[in-house]
Structure 1
Amino acid sequence: MLVPYTIEQDGDGVWCAHAVLRPGVSARGEGDTPDAALAELRVAFALLTEELDTPAELM
């Protein structure tokens, strides 16, 4: 499944990836590179599925 996300670099040079599944349910990843931020975002989604079961948006 494809989930829309944003990725940008903050003022300190850290890359931040963020995705919202629905209001109140989102995930975030940070890293030194865009790829590292996306990898952390994927981990955050995995944790969401463990905590909330699988959100309907990911089915």
Structure 2
Amino acid sequence: TNDAEKIDLSAVTAITSFADLAANHLTQVGGNAVITDGFNTITLNGVNIADLDAGDFIF
């Protein structure tokens, strides 16, 4: 967790919590973590999903 940087997902109504994100919206694609809500995609280049936690996001 980098306290200076957070991904703000508060406007994404399809993702309600880190548990929801991890279970339903977050996948590893090669060396990138990919977040999708069914309509939009965020690719975190060079990020492993194992390195992400709830402190990296705003819900």
| Interval containing the TM-score (normalised by the shorter chain) | 0.3 to 0.5
**Higher RCO (C-alpha under 8 Å, 6+ residues apart):** 2
| Higher fraction of helix | 1
TM-score by length of 1: 0.38
TM-score by length of 2: 0.38
